[in-house]
């Protein structure tokens, strides 16, 4: 599965302001609900918070991958956020998080979502990509980087 299968240009947000992890997760839930009405904000927020209680999805290097399974979702949904100012996310390396990719997966899927999480995680371990994502000026440029990779994208 490719990132373009679950990320759309309208779900790429730059310079999002959040004072803490809880406010960021509420913002993520609102944005999913805005772009996909079947993703009810309260249910999404609750599912993401419940997942965070199991352990932080802050994977290190300033990156977090909050994710949750949602009942009656028709497919995978991704949301990319670059924060205006990094926040404490209780990441594994203790560093604040400034780049976030949120993923919602259908609860009823028989196929594991682990491979999709691994694909996203590998992409964000690329320090060159993360550096470019911090530099882009528009959501469209960020989307191009995420979908095509920084070596082929025209960023300016």
List the catalytic residue out of 34, 67, 113, 134.
67
Contact 89, 64 (CB under 8 A): yes
Query: Is-contact 63 99, C-beta < 8 A?
Result: yes
Q: Among 10, 9, 45, which Cα is nearest to 27's?
A: 45
| 7's tokens | 């990320």
Q: Which of 99, 101, 93, 31 is nearest to 66 (CA)?
A: 101
113 is catalytic: no
Task: List active site positions.
Answer: 67
């Amino acid at each position: 599965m490719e990132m373009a299968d679950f990320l759309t240009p309208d779900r790429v947000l730059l310079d999002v302001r959040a004072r803490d992890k809880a406010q960021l997760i509420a913002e993520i839930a609102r944005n999913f609900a805005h772009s996909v009405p079947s993703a009810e904000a309260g249910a999404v927020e609750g599912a993401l918070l419940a997942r965070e209680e199991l352990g932080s999805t802050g994977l290190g290097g300033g990156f977090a991958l909050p994710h949750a399974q949602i009942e009656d979702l028709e497919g995978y949904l991704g949301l990319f956020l670059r924060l205006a100012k990094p926040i404490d996310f209780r990441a594994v390396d203790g560093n604040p998080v400034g780049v976030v990719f949120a993923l919602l997966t259908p609860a009823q899927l028989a196929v594991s979502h682990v491979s999709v999480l691994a694909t996203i995680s590998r992409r964000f371990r690329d320090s060159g990509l993360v550096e470019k994502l911090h530099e882009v000026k528009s959501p469209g440029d960020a989307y191009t980087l995420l979908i095509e990779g920084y070596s082929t994208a025209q960023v300016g």
